[in-house]
Structure 1
């Protein structure tokens, strides 16, 4: 048996070892018995988790149970509550929404007859009375034009005791009291003073526990303020019903579980959970009631906070976000010293704790710093350092960035790198740019002792230009403090902006470049004067009026040449920063992932993505270079003078689009013994050409030897090789049909179909000659949702050690090695989940164009496809008499 506080992984390994020992002596233990033994040996604190697992409708596998246990233990360690009751994660919510925290029947009296052992709704005497009373009335009510819903007594069998108890104890009405109800089908309120987006509707009958009927006459949203471990937060209860005759407001546990996350009932109250955070939502009161510990927020307060995109509705906080989470002192310096142009506040007010800053800037207590002599001229000393590698690459394969900081002005320039070997080339590029702009020469390059700064290429360049290199002693980064501190500033600023915008780690390159743009325009104590680095560098004040909050949504105008007569004139995009050399903004289109450069946009600085996002497997980068007469006249202006005026005469515009493509692939992580693997996406570096217009963000593209490879079905059919691409698509589609990959069905109500796309490749032989044109249909698996259309995704990968052993044995004993490839391997795996996909482009069913494909096979692109293929080939090999190696499941 497992004792409280014991390590779960150690306990699992012990049990697994015992099973292996039994198998070795000829008494194997089946997987079902092993799972039952494991669950029965857990400590009492895991009882909630065991109940949730046992209530699942599918078969419990050893891998599923162990991964859930390890996940639960990890969450407990993070929360520091090993001895507390196990919290029920969202993955453990049962599909039929059973067990919603009701007390045990055996110890709870019936409110109808007073006996113990059953609920009031199950009382035999009450059921008989209701049957006799309602029998003649049902025929009359069957033609009622009103819809009927139940609060508390859903289908005469759920918990009606809470609301019935309210009717017994009080008849007074209060619109400020909310009660937690596990039987209510909707959130309900008796007052609409806290409601937003209120909409009236035809009266709906709502049945109460005491057989009373009240009517709901409208619905709306209510903003609730709640206390969480991270401080006070605000949430929104959506579709709250307005029932004027209701005596108390009801918080529906079922609706909260469906919309947000699970609810756990304990002796002292009930707790809600969402995104790994658990907080108390209700306190126990008398007679089994739970009073909601959330406070409604008046609509005017909620709208004020929303309009500013920050807590408290202060303009100061909005500018804090626009300037990349600048500190209070820095923002106050900009306002009071008139450092920037376009700031529309006269004084800076203190704001509450910024969540983005708390997550992105938390530091240790600082060490005492030593001051050194400062230079008096630009470019006299340039500080430099490399940061990386990052855990995720940018869309063009960058994993590092290098900074070059002028010692006098602290003006910083950042370059994104694929590898450290590019540092020499980037410094040459920086030196040429800086010397041309300032008219001065670089004298010293200060860096650490890294090998990238000691390359022959960089040493020759510095010797030819008379630049002296200064290196810090090994393992003393403190002596390169200027560059080290700048890297930290940029990373913290980027992290804060991504956290606030809800963007994934793939966006770090965009965020770092934006952080550089903003930090150069914010004051710093290092200069010892009321100026920003940009002002010292250029002798001009930066224009700040055009700054926007990173990651916010915006509607970007679609150029006239890129749309038809009645097409929408704008598209919804995410704001990703500033195209400094084009006096424009940089956006990512929400629907397609395309990158756009434009100055014609309407920003919504309070609208962001709901959660982190990463780049798709493959997407296109599109730039729109708008040229008009005003821009030609302003060529002499600085990079900051972004023109925000709109040109009403669209006929005078001409637009060019440079389409740049890049390829991303996924790599599987190393296999682990039991825990579920982390899903992480990596992109392989692609061939790249950086244009002057997109120099800031390193947009990449690929040119194939036979011309540009198409990225969509439409572009393939319009290319010069359209016939070959069509033949490749036909072959792929026929293969999918032969394998019975899907069936055409109507999309069920409440389900959402995932998309699909064609991926085109030109296959070459070993001589570099074109062998064939290949097309593959892949599902957009990135839009799948955990717990809905996929669960387990882990698939083992052969270890390199095992491969080396096999090759060594073949070489030593003169064995013949056979290599094979399974064509369309993933299509051999069958799916366990119901997944619906849009019909592929170019092959729409003419008789059923509105239908979707219900997938039967594990199509390429689905998150669980590798796992399904592994299970298929694993079962086939075992059936053929092979035995799996325990140390490497791919052997």
Structure 2
């Protein structure tokens, strides 16, 4: 090397802009000759190096939440498109993470343009459940997050939108890492049982459900507990992709057909207390709580020809649809997971319906039952005394799924009597008024659900017809607004039992008959005539005045009505649990009422006091006294001696 100058900066340029520390080390270790370096400003900046070697500045490491309260900051990101389209048509999934709790909600999308819909849905859910909306929503610079519609929605709701700088996904690192972790867990779940990749959404959905149940490094808390304020119970969880046997309800099979069917477990229902299982041969999704798991078995792999996802629900109660009761506490209460375009529905035998395919009348218009005005709704039907003839009858005939099937069955007179009784109850209750449909308004559907009531020996003791609204046809903001209704917490009930035990108080159980029919509607909801009813004019519809089973807001307005009545009777809700009411009597003693939907537990000091409470409630509702408490909230309560009770854990 030819020596020219002794300045390090000169040799920096001579040696191809090698970093100066490396040059000094070379001289210090005598690795070359001809180089002598004098002291100078070694921190001199070389503009050529800055231009040619520019790298990104390091991102600060985040060790915890940036927020101090729930919904203060929300992170969101879209992952996809996936190589395989799900049976429901999804190619993307979208995560929404609360920064403070790290609770994550997943939505599945067919296209990115659905992002504004899902953000609006999440905000509405937060407002309904917590009474507040997100303050800041942070997303990347994707066009789906910068739409005019979404910007208008943010301004309307007072939400601040934050966007990452261009080509800086690290600024949205929480959402990016969540997407990566969900994909990794879903990939492992898939590989464990070598399932078809078209079920990737089910795997992602389950992965998110599991991760919400586990503590995070950032907060050292469990997201589920921070979000729902209760510890998660993991005993219901099973291995994704394992085989399982599902009980087939009696009304879905004949006497000689198998009672169970082998399916594949793919997750947890987001709308009810049930598991999601798939028939790999038909792509049909089933929701059921009556499941026996084979956790070490591999799924039954078959060639799946159909591409459409069809859902069945085998746990539908005639009087209580969990999907329409947001107050009922399920495994993942309000989480809108894995909703790949699937519809809510009331009757599992009919599959799903779309808005376009839904007809004005869901039943055959030629059914034999013809009902006109309210005073003629029961004309031509047999009297209720038909029920007296069925005391010891056992029926092998499946329960009808439609009014047409009911009218064509050998038990049609009994079903007619049941329909008559139900319509009379609605008429006495003033559930609706028959009016012309106002211009510009749409109707919601309704249908009949038929059920035989049996005694403990299996003898049919009653035929029941329940008219239910098809709540899945309601439109948010038009047909309903608030839907949340609280229920008493199990820990509250246990504490109440402890108080009753210590004070030697009576513990009684009350059931409110047709509770949802007592709620008073504030919204203008119009329902099509009950199937089989003829109002004499096709333009006449039912203008609902009160709640009816199946309505989205049915649980909310019933709870609101019950709360008003109890406070009128002198009971005050607890600050810690709004479904525990207390009243101080004139003699200084206390009375308590715990509320779980239409079940009331009364704790009082004497039979006389209890009779007064029942009588007062009967002035507002039709209530049935069930006597001493036997079971409630999954707990069986057994009296040992007078006024003493013991808990026996869950009975189901």
Higher-RCO chain (CA-CA 8 Å, sequence separation at least 6): 2
TM-score (norm 1): 0.31
TM-score (norm 2): 0.42
